[in-house]
Amino acid sequence: MSELQKFRLINKIEGISFIILLFIAMPLKYSFGYPMATKIVGMLHGVLVFAFIYQIIEAKKEAGFTLKETALYFILSLIPFGSFYTDKLLAKKIEPTKVTA
């Protein structure tokens, strides 16, 4: 698996964890008084953010992302559902590199 494919995978997982944190865990904490939800999901999301940062650096080295692309992918990770747009951009980047037999 290439670093770009790994980045695409961790981007999806981190994005999903962000959505779960915002739209499930936080309402459970603040609306229903269940603070354990944010402790568990928040810690998991935090670990995934570190994995995301590591993987974006590795993918930048391999795929040759420009500084502008790298910054865009990082900023999109801070926006709810932004990781899904990043995945769409990465799919376009991976598609031309595939070789048909």
Q: Which domain holds residue 34?
A: 3-97
CA proximity to 50, closest of 93, 13, 101? 13
**Percent composition of the chain: helix, strand, coil (DSSP 3-state, to 5):** 85, 0, 15
For the chain, how many structural domains are there in total?
Answer: 1
In Å, how far from its chain's centre is CA 59? 13
pLDDT for position 94: 77
pLDDT for position 76: 96
Tens digit of each residue's pLDDT, the chain (101 residues): 889 999 999 999 999 999 999 999 999 999 999 999 999 999 999 999 999 999 999 999 999 999 999 999 999 999 999 999 999 999 988 776 555 55
pTM of the predicted model, to two decimals?
0.87
Between CA 101 and CA 99 the distance in angstroms is: 7
